[in-house]
Amino acid sequence: MSSVSQELKDTSVASSKWLDAHYDPVANLYTFSSCIALSDLHGDGENKLVAGDLGTGVCNMKLKVYHGTGLLSESTLLDLPTGMVSFLMDLHEPRTPAIAVASGPFIYVYKNLRPYFKFTLPSLEVNPLEQDVWSQAKEDMIDPMTLKEMLEGLRDKAEIPLSVRSLRFLMLEPQEMEDFVLLHKEQPIRRQTVITCIGTLKKNMADEDAVSCLVIGTENGDVYILDPEAFTILYKMSLPSTPNLMDVTGQFDVEFRITVACRNGNIYILRRDSPKPKYCIELSSHPVGLVRMGKNVVVGCSHETLHGYTQKGKKLWTAYLPAPVTTMALMDLPTRGFQAVLVGLANCEVHMYRDKNLVSTIKTPDVVTSICFGRYGREDGTLIMTTKGGGLIVKILKRTAVFEDRDSAPGPPIAQSIRLNVPKKTKLYVDQTLRERENAVAMHRAFQMDLSRLRLAAARAYVKALESSLTPMSASLTEPLKMNAVVQGLGPSFKLTLNIQNTAACRPVMNLAISFLYDENLYSMRTAFFKIPLLVPGLNYPIDTFVECLSDKGISDIIKVFVLREGKSAPLLTAHINMPVSEGLALN
Amino acid sequence: MKTDVQLPAATDLKKPRPKKAPELPILERRNWLIHLHYIRKDYETCKAIIKEQLHETQGMCEYAVYVQALIMRLEGKIQQSLELFQSCAILNPKSSDNLKQVARSLFLLGKHKAAIEVYNEAARLNQKDWEISHNLGVCYIYTKDFRSAEEQLNLALQLNKHDLTYMMLGKIHLLQGDTEKAIDVYKSAVEYVSIHNLTFKHTCFILYTMLLGKYQKAFEHLGNALTYDPNNFKAILAAGSMMQTHGDYDVAMNKYRVAAYSVPESPPLWNNIGMCFFGKKKYVAAISCLKRANYLSPFDWKILYNLGLVHLTMQQYASAFHFLSAAINLRPRMSELYMLLAVALTNLDDADNARRSYEQAVQLDESNLLVNLNFAVFLYNQGDKKAALLQFQEMERKVNTQVDSNINTEFDPELVEMAQKLGAALQAGENLYWSKPGKDSKSSQRSSSSKPSSSQQPLGTNQALGQAMSSAAGYSKSMQITAGAEPLSPSTSCHLHRSVHPNLQSQIFRCLFEWCIILM
């Protein structure tokens, strides 16, 4: 109840903080926070929204540019965009930023929305043995089968993994190998990796419009820093795992710090002076979002937690979230000196945190998959979100909005004042209590007496059942049998199914017979006596027989079933079947 | 998502010349996308992408198989996921990650020995992995090889000081009954674990202090833990039950209200609330709450015990009899239960069975004075002075051993009074501890018992007890001493303490056992 009221308050407050500028539920945008940027593409002082759209995830990838509420331009991308950044690559006037789209092993650089440059990741070292084998194949010294065997041998032992070509070759059927070798043998072997994340780093000045280097992380755990103009590799660092999220701060020529969240659940902090990670933060679950706030790093984890760390990897705080994190972004309002972390959650909410305190909550119509906060058009405080269903939401922060930095735990919890739901007792209960007080001894004795009687009755019934073999399990040790009976049908004819099972460990039971006893005026059976086949232990033998009800007076009776052994008069098992009343009339 | 396979557009970029070989797609090209969806818990999309990726690479993409296996494990298909992890390990035999996951699946399937083997293999590939050592330790715990478990966990601690490892190590020592070592572990945990993990730190500290018997300190830390996380159910319950033992019923109730809001169906919580009402002499409410607790957890003997006690107080002896006998059925080796049953039977005019029950209680009892005292009173009332004297002397012996070994030097005033009365009636008891006036002054010191579960654990002052007891004592007014004709009340209220206290413990230890590792 308390949380509900608090939520209500929050939403009302939040709705007053944001203006709903635009909402297009069918914008058809499939993108992530890493593929979305706000940039003054034309140098006219109006920021556009640039989004790398993953299309269907297979095809139809697009680079979309939005201006105002409309789509400004759309250009086809060649492969899935992994990340996208906007950066200034030179000092030429007018200062229009370029867009770098990372996809696969390439970075496509666009200027003025036109393709400008394509950077390809340096290829990885190829196994020399593999190279050897292929060069032999090229000179037709070995046939495809030998090639296959040699490559398989290499795959299992080699330190350096095989190239795609060899792996693909190994997957082929023998008849396809010949063509494959012919087609590919002339090409040099290459082993390529792909880009997994991209960021920017100021080259030598801290200004807003300074020239920036590109920082890229690759699938095999390398981090490269590229020169902004020549696109040469300025610096290379390596990580123990594949980078996943990246945050870069500082200047390349002075000092920088790259915080990288990796697929193995660790966060590594790289510094200018060493090609290996300087600090390592081991998280207990995968990082989903990584945002730097001032000197601290805020990490959202897949276990519904938000952690704050110093830039040296010391943990500062933990906040628990109500739902899994989908994405995170920084909300920075330098004009007001306000910074917060926006956390998109799977329960259709966006939470705003300042340190560990929840400052505000925004409800969204769908799960948010990417968040971007910044200047859009001419409006500084714009929040752009895309949703799982492909929607685009644009909200503008009201100039009057104030975020109070209230502590998350002020005073005692509200639940403390809620009355305990103690079950009430009736007057009858109190009366009975009084009666028990007065007559406890008599009640106790009566109870003990009845209990003894009950036990006696139960024991008698048990003995009787044992004597007449009425239990569902036979008591004899030589023929341990289990039987149950099922009656099916509405009448006048019923189907009687007896399920008989031999529960012995390994011995079969033979020479058994079944006989029925019933009122012949009421029922007729085709065979009231038959033999049962040999019973293999453990198997269930369903035995069907049909019963015809002769009476139309709506009366029913008991049919007794006896399981007999040849040469013994006492039955092994007895079952009394309470027949249902026949609902249909006999035809004859 | 459509599944038609398109070669990456990179190939379309250049005009396809007939002789030119098509560029082959990189196997790992969609790993990032799979990972992105996986960590966002968008498993449906993730599975679609994986399916497509595996189709494209004909099952050669290691990471796709790996994530598929992880998702399957989350869906409960452990066996299938194990097979997938094994195929990952074939695709890349050098990766310790794959082996770790194989081992983890084996662990989840309960094949601890096989898991240990695979973990050892993984450890050969990656020597310095905290996770491997820790999980190996946990596997060894399940195979009851505590020595190896300890070794591995210590190794894990050398690599990285994780909270989980401390908890498991402490648990091993507790399982082995080695309290000293457990205390050491918790102590070092308190020292090493960085300030951030306050709840963990407090848990450790509380366990540490409780094991030392320093309840006051433990309580302070519980209070601290509650300021950081005022809605922590376990901390509330622990703190509340401590307040309750000190007679702070209203404050405890305040805490319980918070807990009842977040976890409304907790049997221990309703038990403690019921005993709070009992302490405040609201017996009907107490019975209501205890019955709810009993409804929620019908096989908890502590709740039945308390129900029996409250019904005795309400003079509903017939009901009390049923609750107590149910409790005895669940816990047949506890002397106090037999004693309470005997009290109920005495009031139900069943002297023979009462005597038998007392005899059982005395036989099972080790240190509880009340059992002997109540039995003595009962025998005295039955006119069997000789046997009564014997029980009285047995009680004297227990008092003296307790005083001598310094376990307990403070006795409940009502118990003392009763003992003195009975002593006077039996012309015995002059040499009892409390009849010697000089010693009382120094008896205020309280030494800590090494066994936290000892029934005579002093928990603060006994005043709260006294209050509750005087109410509990009311039921015996019908019992008359034949000679003196003055009512003697066999005091049973000490059980209020016990009845609350074990819950506290079980709560604290429960959080210990709930720790488990989920690392991917």
Per-residue 3-state assignment (H helix, E strand, C coil) for A275-299: CCCCEEEECCCCEEEEEEECCEEEE
Asked whether the beta carbons of residue A419 and residue B257 sit closer than 8 angstroms, the reply is: yes
Q: Give B80→chain A minimum CA distance, Å.
A: 23
Show which of residues 197-236 on chain B sit within 8 Å of chain A, judged by CB atoms.
197, 227-231
Confidence of residue A101 (pLDDT cuts 50, 70, 90): very high
With vertex at residue A416, the alpha carbon angle to CA A413 and CA A418, rounded to the nearest 5 degrees, is 125
Contact yes or no for B72/B80 (Cβ under 8 A): yes
Structure tokens belonging to residue A156: 């299992």
Which residues does chain B have with pLDDT short of 50? 1-18, 195-196, 437-520
Residue found by looking up tokens 């107590």 in the block? B324
- In this prediction the ipTM stands at 0.71
Measure CB to CB from residue B258 to each of A106, A288, A413 and give the nearest one: A413
Q: Is residue A193 pLDDT above 60, yes or no?
A: yes
Q: What is the pLDDT confidence band of residue A401, given thresholds at 50, 70 and 90?
A: confident
Q: Are B466 and B389 in contact (CB under 8 A)?
A: no
Confidence of residue A209 (pLDDT cuts 50, 70, 90): confident
Q: What is the distance in angstroms between the Cα of A167 and the nearest Cα belonging to chain B?
A: 8
Using CA atoms, how far apart are residues B404 and B381, in angstroms rounded to an integer?
Answer: 31
CA–CA distance, B191 with A176 (Å, rounded to integer):
65
- State residue A291's pLDDT score: 92
Q: Tell me whether residues A346 and B316 touch, CB distance under 8 A.
A: no
So what's the pLDDT on residue A15?
53
| A169 three-class SS | helix
- pLDDT given for residue A108 in this prediction: 92
| Nearest-CA distance B430 → chain A (Å) | 38
Q: What is the pLDDT of residue B148?
A: 86
- Of B238, B299, B245, the C-alpha closest to B267 is B299
What is the per-residue pLDDT for A4? 45
**Model pLDDT for residues A471-481, shown as the tens digit of each residue:** 777 767 777 88
pLDDT(A301) > 60:
yes
Q: CB distance B40–A82 less than 8 Å?
A: no
Half-sphere exposure of residue A259, counting CA atoms within 13 Å on the CB side?
Answer: 21
Q: How confident is the model at residue A394 (pLDDT cuts 50, 70, 90)?
A: very high
At A410-453, the pLDDT tens digits run: 555 666 677 777 878 888 988 988 998 888 889 999 999 999 99
pLDDT at A425: 81
Looking at per-residue pLDDT, the higher value among B162 and A334 belongs to: A334
Could you tell me if B353 lies within 8 Å of chain A, comparing CB atoms? no
Res A123 pLDDT > 90 = no
Q: pLDDT higher for A236 or B416?
A: A236
* CA dist., res. B451 & res. B430, Å (int): 31
Residue B337's pLDDT is 87
The C-alpha angle A270, A271, A273, rounded to 5 degrees, equals 130
- Helices first, then strands: H and E counts in chain B: 26, 0
Is pLDDT at A265 greater than 60 in this prediction?
yes
**Exposure string for A74-83, b = 16+ CB within 10 A, e = fewer:** eeebbbbbbb
- Categorize the per-residue pLDDT at A174 as very low, low, confident or very high, splitting at 50, 70 and 90: confident
Query: Which amino acid makes up residue A365?
Result: P
Q: What is the pLDDT of residue B326?
A: 92
Q: How far is Cα B237 from Cα B258, in angstroms, rounded to an integer?
A: 10
| C-alpha to C-alpha distance for B299 and B294, rounded to whole angstroms | 8
Predicted confidence at residue B205, as pLDDT, reads 61
Q: 3-class DSSP state for residue A441? A: helix
State the smallest CA–CA distance between residue B254 and chain A in angstroms.
6
Question: Is the CB of B516 inside 8 Å of chain A's CB atoms?
Answer: no
Peptide bond into A492 cis (omega under 30): yes
Per-residue pLDDT tens digits for B436-487: 544 333 333 333 333 233 333 322 323 333 333 333 333 332 222 222 222 2
What's the whole-number mean pLDDT along residues A205-215? Answer: 87
What per-residue confidence (pLDDT) applies to B225?
A: 67
Query: CA-CA distance, A474 to A455, in Å (whole number)?
Result: 23
The b-or-e profile of B171-181 (16+ CB within 10 A means b, else e) is bbbbeeeeeeb
Q: CB-CB: which of B288, B349, B519 is closest to A425?
A: B288
Give the pTM: 0.64
* CA within 13 Å, CB half, A173: 2
Structure tokens at A230: 């020549």
Report which secondary-structure segment, H or E, holds B188.
helix B179-192
Element containing residue B64 per DSSP (H, E):
helix B62-74
A44 secondary structure, DSSP code: S
- Strands A529-532 and A243-251 come out as unpaired
A289 bridge partner residues: A300
Using an 8 Å Cβ cutoff, are B348 and B317 in contact?
A: yes
Give me the pLDDT at residue B484, please.
25
pLDDT of B471 reads 31
| Confidence at residue B461, expressed as pLDDT on a 0 to 100 scale | 28
Task: Give the one of B39, B41, B318 whose C-beta lies nearest to A436's C-beta.
Answer: B318
B477 CB-contact burial (10 Å; exposed 0-12 / middle 13-18 / buried 19+)? exposed
Q: Could you tell me which chain B residue has the CA closest to the CA of A319?
A: B229
Q: What's the CA gap between B398 and B5, in Å, rounded? A: 85
Q: Which residue on chain B is closest to A326 by alpha carbon?
A: B40
Q: Average model confidence (pLDDT) for chain A?
A: 84
